[in-house]
């Protein structure tokens, strides 16, 4: 693996316009495993590890969404991919949106699907993100990670135990602490002008849960009318894990054009 291409997992048939999957803060390519499996017979999918995450833990440059966007585009270019669909979650939603806007004139991006995306408003649960970035004990991780899901969802303790084992490496929390401070502006998140979404020519879907405790779903109200908004009652900040079938269906609909 060269340092020009981010670590990634590819699934699905060749010959289809690929779907590039962009995970959120403190996630990795495995965030998209259920979606990749659901689409494996219909669409080629590429799930990347972003700088400072997963196998890209010690990537040369880590930081805010703009840094990750540049590394993502560089990786896609190095792989010789001309056209692609995008799906992004949370911080990855902001990165995917910025990528689509950056490449708007070339029309390389064929669709954009966003799950509880970052950058759609100033409000953000900064305390939760900062605490989650540096947590290392399984009981603490279990309590914090549970807040990323809907109120009635149960997160198995084994998930927190696996996280704790991963975070035994101090480089993990050091990288996450760097990234979280880069994407936050004090108690707020950095964002962009939502009106610019109306300049994009491809389909855009927005998926959000009414029980999101990280980014308020009310931020979806600010999007232009051309954006299709799908709101799910009882779902938290992790739609791809909480309602994987529904997410796969909506992604399939949005990518059907190519």
**Residues 25, 7: Cα–Cα separation, whole Å:** 16
**Mean pLDDT across the stretch 180-199?**
96
Query: What b/e readout covers 101-111, taking b as 16+ CB neighbours within 10 angstroms?
Result: bbbeeeebbbb
- What are the beta bridge partners of residue 109? 84
Q: Half-sphere exposure (CA, 13 Å, Cβ side) for 161? A: 3
CA nearest neighbour of 116 among 20, 210, 183, 227: 210
Pairing between strand 45-48 and 8-11? antiparallel
Q: What is the DSSP letter of 240?
A: H
1 pLDDT higher than 50: no
SS3 at position 6: coil
Tell me the per-residue pLDDT of 241-257, one tens digit each, with 9 for 90 and over.
999 999 999 999 999 97
Phi then psi dihedrals of residue 239, to 5 deg: -55, -35
pLDDT attached to residue 3? 65
**Residues 28, 204: Cα–Cα separation, whole Å:** 23
CA nearest neighbour of 47 among 72, 26, 16: 72
Pairing between strand 188-189 and 184-185? antiparallel
Phi then psi dihedrals of residue 75, to 5 deg: -65, -45
According to CATH, the topology of domain 8-122+190-254 is Rossmann fold (3.40.50)
Tell me the per-residue pLDDT of 108-136, one tens digit each, with 9 for 90 and over.
999 999 999 999 999 999 999 999 999 99
Query: What b/e readout covers 137-170, taking b as 16+ CB neighbours within 10 angstroms?
Result: ebebbbebbbbbbbeebebeeeebeebbeebeee
**Residues 136, 173: Cα–Cα separation, whole Å:** 8
CA nearest neighbour of 255 among 113, 104, 115: 113
167 pLDDT higher than 70: yes
CA 15 to chain centre: 25
Kindly state the greatest CA–CA separation across the chain.
Answer: 48
Pure H helices in 64-151:
65-78, 91-102, 126-134, 138-146
Domain layout of the chain by residue ranges? 8-122+190-254
pLDDT attached to residue 153? 86
**Mean pLDDT across the stretch 203-221?**
98
Q: Of all residues in the chain, what percent carry a pLDDT higher than 70?
A: 98
Query: Is 77 within 8 Å of 169 (Cβ atoms)?
Result: no
Mean pLDDT of the chain: 96
Helix (H) or strand (E) holding 176: helix 170-183
Tell me the per-residue pLDDT of 24-67, one tens digit each, with 9 for 90 and over.
999 999 999 999 999 999 999 999 999 999 999 999 999 999 99
**pTM of model > 0.75:** yes
pLDDT bucket at 154, cuts 50 / 70 / 90: confident
């Amino acid at each position: 693996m060269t340092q020009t291409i981010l670590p990634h997992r590819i699934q699905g048939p060749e010959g289809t316009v690929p779907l590039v999957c962009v995970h959120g803060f403190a996630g990795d390519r495995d965030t998209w495993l259920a979606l990749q499996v659901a689409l494996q017979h219909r669409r080629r999918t590429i799930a990347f590890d972003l700088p400072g995450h997963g196998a890209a833990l010690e990537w040369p440059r880590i930081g805010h969404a703009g840094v990750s966007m540049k590394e993502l585009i560089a990786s896609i270019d190095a792989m010789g991919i001309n056209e692609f669909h995008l799906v992004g979650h949370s911080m990855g939603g902001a990165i995917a949106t910025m990528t689509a806007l950056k490449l708007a004139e070339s029309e390389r991006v064929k669709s954009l699907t966003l799950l509880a995306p970052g950058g759609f408003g100033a409000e953000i649960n900064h305390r939760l993100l900062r605490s989650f970035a540096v947590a290392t004990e399984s009981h603490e991780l279990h309590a914090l990670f549970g807040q990323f899901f809907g109120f009635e969802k149960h997160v198995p303790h084994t998930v927190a135990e696996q996280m704790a084992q991963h975070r035994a490496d101090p480089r993990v929390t050091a990288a996450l602490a760097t990234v979280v401070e880069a994407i936050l502006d004090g108690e707020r998140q950095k964002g962009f002008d939502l009106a610019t979404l109306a300049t994009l020519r491809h389909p855009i879907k927005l998926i959000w849960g009414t029980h999101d405790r990280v980014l308020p779903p009310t931020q979806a109200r600010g999007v232009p009318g051309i954006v299709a908004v799908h709101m799910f009652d009882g779902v938290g900040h992790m739609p791809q894990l909480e309602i994987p079938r529904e997410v796969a269906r909506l992604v399939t609909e949005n990518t059907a054009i190519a």
